[in-house]
Amino acid sequence: MSKPVVVLNGPNLGRLGRREPQIYGTTTHADLAARLVEYGRGLGLDVEVRQTDSEERMIGWIHEAADERTPVVINPAAWSHYSIAIADALAQLEAPCIEVHISNIAAREELRHHSVVSAHVTGTITGLGLKGYEAALAWLATS
């Protein structure tokens, strides 16, 4: 039986492949999702990948994961830096949660240096590109 994991991607990540490829690369979100589902399968995980530009929808997905005790990989994107609502939702999780950032947020503009959600996750992976998602899934598979 596969262990369920949900990967939640925040605003503008649906534009991967077109959005600032010098920072985020040329892989599309659909390609990333397919890659993570396949990678997870090899680890014994049943991975579902979701993306939204709606903070309300993201909070609902986090609440769903909390209620079902589903492990989460989250890239809150811009919400990382200011969304107390996302942070409060993540604080309700009982299963592990890994925060992922494609770029190294500490090496970018100062406004991106701090993540308000980091205090409510198990760990953070930043700056490893799309491989950060795979590192998060690999860790969850063994936790």
DSSP sequence for 27-59: --HHHHHHHHHHHHHHTTEEEEEEE-S-HHHHH
Task: Check residue 82 and give its pLDDT.
Answer: 87
- CA angle at 101 for the pair 96 and 104, rounded to the nearest 5°: 130
Domains for the chain: give ranges and CATH numbers: 3-142 (3.40.50.9100)
The answer to whether residues 85 and 55 touch, using CB atoms and an 8 Å cutoff, is: yes
Active site residue 101: yes
Higher pLDDT, 51 or 115: 51
Which position among 29, 101, 120, 133 bears the catalytic label? Answer: 101
Computed over every residue of the chain, the mean pLDDT equals 91
In which band, very low, low, confident or very high, does the pLDDT at 19 lie, cut at 50, 70 and 90? confident
> Does the annotation flag 81 for ligand binding?
yes
Percent pLDDT > 70 in the chain is 94
In which band, very low, low, confident or very high, does the pLDDT at 132 lie, cut at 50, 70 and 90? very high
Task: Check residue 128 and give its pLDDT.
Answer: 93
Task: Check residue 25 and give its pLDDT.
Answer: 72
Which position among 24, 29, 120, 133 bears the catalytic label? Answer: 24
> Does the annotation flag 112 for ligand binding?
yes
Active site residue 63: no
pLDDT in tens, 72-127: 999 999 898 889 999 999 999 999 999 999 877 765 667 666 789 989 999 999 99
Percent pLDDT > 90 in the chain is 71
> Does the annotation flag 88 for ligand binding?
yes
